[in-house]
Every structure is written in structure tokens, then in C-alpha cells.
Structure 1
Amino acid sequence: MDALLNLSAFELLTYFCLFGLLVAFLYHYIYPLLLNAYFKSDSFTAIKNTVQQHVAECNDLNDHIEDLKYSYSDVASTNYGEADLTDSSRYNMNRPKWAGAMKDSRTYRCSSSVAKSADDQPFKYFCKYFNVSPNKDSLDKFEQALNNFAAAEQGKYLLANERDAILFEIRNSIPSFLQRHHQDRINEELGLKRVSLAKLYFPVYTFQYVSAGGNSR
């Protein structure tokens, strides 16, 4: 302690800087090497082998979800071609709603009267403007698609519960420090995948009205 007190301010600063550099070196270089070594170890590989069936089931469900996204691929508004609308008026008119106009196969850009009628009789106008025949075959198709979406949603929750059960079962085989600070890395290394329906949706078909002046929608 006496020797430390006898050090000059410059020497103390030098020691602190060296200590900081050592800590930084250990954290940024040595620590990652130790983590990588653990995740490549035989013990962790053995743990990883216990979840392969679950990973395969997640992959199968993800593939199924991708297929479901095309369930309504043939239900679309009439295609009259594509065009870009621009305003070259020298009066610099402000048409804010033009920029927000949607252009896709599930949006029918229509007059205000059609939009109002679609609001009053949605199924009738959906069938009319999105080329859907209101018959038993169409109804069966939509019902089947609904059942497939519901089954995928249920499968997602079942796999999520299975993943949580796996993590609980192997909790004593993985160092608690890693579980506290690197759970995401553990899940990644194990191959545990989150099955998400975030990008899966029941298609939304829209009747959109934009005024000629571009000031209302």
C-alpha cells in the first residue's frame, strides 16, 4: 500500500491504462475464443444431438407456412396494366395521397361509390372485383385455407412449448453463467428455431379510393 501511495500520478495512470487494455484484450479476444471452444466441445455436441428432431419439425412447419402464403395466389384484382402517375404542373400542386396509393394484386383502386358499396356489401363486391365465383368450390377452397392457417398457428404454439421443455430439460447440462448471459447464442448453436407467423397473414383485400386531386383517400 505504501509503495502504491509513493507512485506518481503518471505512473498510476499508466498502470490503470495497462489494466484496462488487459481487460479489453481478455473480453474481446480471449473470452470469445473460450465461448467458441465450449460450443465446439463434445459435451455441447451431445446436448445438440438431443434437439435435432425438434429442429426438423420446426423446419417442416416453416416450409408448410411458406406454402400457405400462396393459398390465395390466384385471387387478385383485374390487371389493367401498370403505370406511374406524376404531376408536372408548374403550379407545384400538393397531392399527398397519390404517394400513398397502393399498387398490388390485392388492392382495387376504385371510385368513392364502389368503395362505399364494398363497405355495405363486402362479400358481393369482393367476388365481383377480385374474380371469385360465389359457389361451393370457392367456399370449400377458402374454408380449407382457413383450416390450414389455424393448424399452422396451433403447430407454432406446440413447437414453442416443446422448445421450452427441451431448454428446461437440459438446463443442468449447460453452465448457468452462459444461460444467464448467452441464452440467444445457446439457442442458435442448438439450432432451436422460433417458428413465427409474423409474416404469415390472412390476405387482406382492399378497395381504395383516391380523389382526382390527390387530397383525400
Structure 2
Amino acid sequence: MNTPDHIIAAQTRLKGYVHRTPFMESSTLNAMLGHRIVFKCENLQKIGAFKVRGAMNTLLTLKEQGVLPERVTCFSSGNHAQAVAYGAKTLGLKATIFIPQNASSLKIAATRAHGAEVVVTQTRLEAESAVQAVIDQGAVFIHPYDDDRVMAGQGTAALEAFQDGPAFDAVFAPCGGGGLVSGTYLAAQAASPATKVFGVEPLKANDAARTLRDGKIFKWDQAPDTIADGVRTLYVS
């Protein structure tokens, strides 16, 4: 189980492999809301998303342990797919990535551009099932969020924010599978315990809210129909 120290260790491990992304503000938005809103621009991160932090931290941890495989695999609607493909290319590994057909065509193309073997499936559930055959052949599976190493890597985005930005009263983190918001909470515990952490999800992909309401994991039968394609997860972990 992760602790705040794991986020700090991940930041050290990732140095030179990910960007330390900048902040941006909108004076118009600040005036509309009556608060100072600061954006951590992970859209300027390698592969265009924070997901590279978790994937690279996982791969670099395996490298440190001397158990780096020849091939890695994952399922993803796009961002984690690109992250694993990029990480594999960076460390000279092969990658087999399963992506549902309703994923962004641009993200599918970007994943292929990093040299990964991409298998497009009918649904997200089919992608999750198909990955097992590659694991059985010796590949190491990198889960998009249900992995302590991934969570620790994602948390480094918030840790940077606490280190580089002003004092924050609250942080709002997207919640799909829960890796980023969990890592963000641990980063807050490490660097700014008084800061409140909120998870945010689309109304049409509100599995985290349903899980908290019902006291048990809520699972979708298929990927939620939301324009926020990065949070089309079947359940929060």
C-alpha cells in the first residue's frame, strides 16, 4: 500500500523522464468564480497526459528491481495506452496494447506511432479479457490505475503543484479509475496536509459517486458514454 513517501520516491525516479509541467490561470474565470483557479497543465506533458507518470514509474521500478520484461501489455481507452507504448519505446521494450473501438482515433494512431502493437476490440470489457492471453505468454501487465506504482507516479503531478505553486485551499482531480485522485491525496499528505482534495467525474460516468453512495464497487457493463474519453473506466478501484 502506498504512503506519501512513495510519491516522493516516484518523483525522484521520474526525473528526466517526464516534464515538470507549468501552471496557467484565467483572469476571466477567476472573476466569474470569485476564486483564484490554477491549472496544472498536464496537457503539455509527454504524450499529452499525466498517464505517462504512472506508466514510467512502474517500468522504472521494474528496472530498479532487475525484472524488466521483454514485453508489456495493457488495456486502455487511449491515454494509458500511449503512456505504456511511450515507456516501452523509451526503455527498449515491446508493447501489445488493447484499445476499444470507440476510443479516439488520434490516440490509437499515437499509440501505434510509439511502436506498439495495437489490437482494437469491440468493447472495453473485451479489451480487458483479451489482455490475459498476452500475460500468459510472459508479458507484464500494467493496469491503468489499480497498481500502487501507477498511483504513485500519477501523484507526482500534484506533488509538483504543491512544490511550485501557491498555497492551495483545495485541489480538484479527475476521477476515472481513481489512480490520479488517490495519488493526489497522498501528495497532499506529503506536502500540504491542510489542502482539501476533491475527485471530479462526469455525470454520465459517475461510478465513483455511486460506489461511495452504495458502499460497494459499482461497475458499468460497458464503457460510459461521455465526451470525457479519458475517464471511460468501468469502475473505480
Provide the TM-score with structure 2 as the length reference.
0.25
Task: Give 1 or 2: higher strand fraction.
Answer: 2
- Which has the larger helix fraction? 1
Q: Which has the larger radius of gyration?
A: 1
Higher relative contact order (CA 8 A, sep 6+): 1
